[in-house]
Amino acid sequence: MHWYEKLNQYFPIEEMKSKEHMETLMKERSEIYHKDEGPNHVLMYVELDNFIFIDYLFVSKNARGQGLGHKLMEKMKHRGKPIILEVEPVNYGDSDTAKRLRFYKREGFEHAESIGYARRSLATNEINKMEILYWAPNNESEEMIFDAMKKTYNLIHTYKDKRFYGESYQPVEEVLTFNEETENGNILDNL
CB of 150 closer than 8 Å to CB of 176:
yes
Give the angle 107-108-112 at the CA atoms, nearest 5°. Answer: 120
Full pLDDT tens readout for the chain, 191 residues = 799 999 999 898 899 999 999 999 999 999 999 999 999 999 999 999 999 999 999 999 888 888 999 999 999 999 999 999 999 877 656 667 778 889 999 999 999 999 999 999 998 899 999 999 999 999 999 999 999 999 999 999 999 999 999 999 999 999 999 987 766 677 777 76
Distance separating alpha carbons of residues 85 and 13, to the nearest angstrom? 17
Residue 23, Cβ neighbours under 10 Å: how many? 13
**Cα–chain center distance at 2:** 20
Distance separating alpha carbons of residues 91 and 77, to the nearest angstrom? 28
pTM of the model: 0.93
CATH code, 3-166? 3.40.630.30
Distance separating alpha carbons of residues 16 and 56, to the nearest angstrom? 9
